[in-house]
Amino acid sequence: MSSAKRLPTASKTEDASGRQQISIDDLIREQMKRGLDRQEYNPDNKVTVRLFRSGDWERIDPIVAESEQEEAFIKRVIENGPERQLHVCRVEVLDELNALRTKFPNFREVTTEIIGRYKISLLGGAPLSLPVINLQGPPGIGKTTYVRAVATALGQPFHDLKISQMMDKFELAGMSKGWRGARPGKIARILLEEEPKEGQPVILFDELCMAKDTEDHSVIHPLYTLFDRDSAGHFRDLFMDLPMDTSFVLAFCTTNNLEALRPALRSRLSSFHIEAPSREEMRLLAQKMYRQLLERFNVKVHFPDLLSNAILVRLTEGSIRDMKLNLERAVIRAVGESNGQERFRLRPEHVPSIQDRKRQIGFM
């Protein structure tokens, strides 16, 4: 008898041969319920990872610090300890992840990938593990906003690294203590200092294709280890000079020219090509942004519930980034032009047109 047939409360269907089948969502919920009955499942149980091996951890000593700044950093590292919590998979998080399909329809494929891996972690009782996910697509389509939303759905901290603005590998992987101005890199600072409890922060490497990568100065060199799940357990920050386990970091990247990456780095990424939303998706997104904007300003009672068709036509002329900026500007204009009334209505002329934006750029 299959395990599916032994689950009494899960909804079942029959396949073509008449055998009963069960949905994976019901299977997950039923397994967790059975675990609760046996007092095996506890969402408060903490699963941890050690960032350093015991012998290496004992080598960290503030006494050997070469500056007050270095000593303060090492003391914070010791105070935070070598262990970090891993994400505890929960059924309610699936609801948050499923909501991303509606909120970000053009990211549906990558959302399905994340949900699938999350369900596997729930079924197997293993810590959440994701490949290094790269979002390839034109600028302004919401890639950064999407990754931030994934972090929020998971309940994990989010770190946005503008890697295109970095000058050398030491910004990511630290500078050896023998050099003047030596300091830990951003990866070590996130895991050892900025996140004293969380071992699975969501880290976004934004605009990876624009990262500096020359023979003399290569920002991406440390990423070969960080992005390789087989070697990420031995990531070495040059300042700490100790292998550190970064294998559970939830790493995302964005690119608008994937082919610009070296093949060795590209092979370490699970890339998804993200298209710009369709016109209908843009209209739905505009209505959603409008509601969120009014809620943020706490002025919902002073505006209509929905945007008019004329407003939507103007708003959906450009990218998602343009739409967000222009929508906020339109709301501000509507209020700014009012003459004492407490109800406001957006007009098409409140939304900057493409010609308006070109004139503004030319003026600057």
Listed by start position, the domains of the chain span 3-37, 50-273, 279-363
- CATH superfamily ID and name for 50-273: P-loop containing nucleotide triphosphate hydrolases (3.40.50.300)
User: So what's the pLDDT on residue 130?
Assistant: 97
Contact by Cβ (8 Å): 18, 65: no
**What's the distance, CA 222 to chain centroid?**
20
pLDDT digits (tens, 9 = 90+) for 291-343: 999 999 999 999 999 999 999 999 998 888 899 999 999 999 999 998 888 89
User: So what's the pLDDT on residue 11?
Assistant: 46
User: So what's the pLDDT on residue 178?
Assistant: 76
pTM assigned to the model: 0.82
Beta bridge partner(s), residue 206: 162
User: So what's the pLDDT on residue 52?
Assistant: 94
Task: Return per-residue pLDDT of the chain as tens, 364 residues.
Answer: 333 333 333 345 555 555 556 666 676 666 655 544 444 545 556 789 999 998 999 988 776 677 788 888 999 999 999 999 999 999 999 999 999 998 999 999 999 999 999 999 999 988 999 999 999 999 999 999 999 999 999 999 999 999 999 988 999 999 988 787 788 999 999 999 999 999 999 999 999 999 998 877 889 999 999 999 888 889 999 999 999 999 999 999 999 999 999 999 999 999 999 999 899 999 999 999 999 999 999 999 999 999 999 999 999 988 888 999 999 999 999 999 988 888 999 999 999 976 555 555 444 4
Q: Tokens 């934004």 correspond to what residue?
A: 206
pLDDT digits (tens, 9 = 90+) for 114-168: 999 999 999 998 899 999 999 999 999 999 999 999 999 999 999 999 999 998 8
